[in-house]
Chain A
Amino acid sequence: QLQLQESGPGLVKPSETLSLTCTVSGGSISSSSYYWGWIRQPPGKGLEWIGSIYYSGSTYYNPSLKSRVTISVDTSKNQFSLKLSSVTAADTAVYYCARLRPPGVVIRWGQGTLVTVSS
């Protein structure tokens, strides 16, 4: 069964860049039937889509975050990654990686990883 696992620092300083990687196991990231994304959830709050990527490298970003977000894919490692620049305390959240079925149903979620922005 396909699994997704987030990894990366749990603490990031303000103004720095948050970097997370999602490792996909039990299935290929190169499937044309799905695409891959990042969704976050501030503590005690709701869900926010950050962006998505196809294995080909085509990306789609939340307009409200687009200027700070980069999502990339490494098919050789079956991984995709998130970079969010110039972070502030408002970026503190649980970050989920996910598999999506076009045009945008989230059919599988990682367990999530808490990233805290603090000096």
Chain B
Amino acid sequence: EIVLTQSPGTLSLSPGERATLSCRASQSVSSSYLAWYQQKPGQAPRLLIYGASSRATGIPDRFSGSGSGTDFTLTISRLEPEDFAVYYCQQYGSSLTFGPGTKVDIK
């Protein structure tokens, strides 16, 4: 099973700042089958990024994904008030597993 580790656990930032979230896999993720999801309290997650770097429909371009192999990054270029949430990475190259999440909260 591919285990995903996300860092940091919590990221405290102000609106307008840049957020950089990391996702590391215990073994290489084939074909960059890595996705990112955003979850707000009381809501289901929402797909942001798939294939490591492709934005899902309707996702603003301030969200970007990069990486390959075992190291992946989600970047939010300028945080908007609605971006404060928990972010999960997920690999789907070998079964499906999720990372433990990174909480982005207001500083």
Supply 15 further A-B pairs (C-beta < 8 A) apart from A49-B97, A62-B95.
Answer: A46-B99, A46-B100, A47-B37, A48-B98, A49-B95, A63-B1, A101-B50, A103-B33, A103-B93, A104-B33, A104-B92, A106-B37, A106-B90, A111-B44, A112-B44
Interface string of A89-103 (1 = CB under 8 A from B): 000000010000101
Q: Is the pair B98, A110 in contact by a Cβ cutoff of 8 Å?
A: no
Q: Which B residues are closer than 8 A to A by beta carbons?
A: 1, 33, 35, 37, 44-47, 50, 56, 88, 90, 92-93, 95-101
Residues of A within 8 A of B33 (CB): 103-104
Q: Is the interface of B mostly helix, strand, loop or mixed?
A: loop
Distance A110 CA – B45 CA, assembled complex (angstroms): 9
Does A105 touch B at the CB level, under 8 Å? Answer: yes
Q: How large is the interface on A (under 10, 10 to 19, 20 to 34, 35 or more residues)?
A: 10 to 19
Q: Are A46 and B88 in contact (CB under 8 A)?
A: yes
A residues 53-76 near B (Cβ < 8 Å) are: 60, 62-63
Say whether A105 contacts B95, CB under 8 Å: no
Contact B1 A106 (CB under 8 A): no
Q: Within the complex, which residue of A63, A104, A109 is in contact with B45, where a contact is CB–CB below 8 Å?
A: A109
Closest 8 CB pairs of A and B: A104-B92, A109-B44, A49-B96, A47-B98, A105-B50, A104-B96, A46-B100, A46-B101
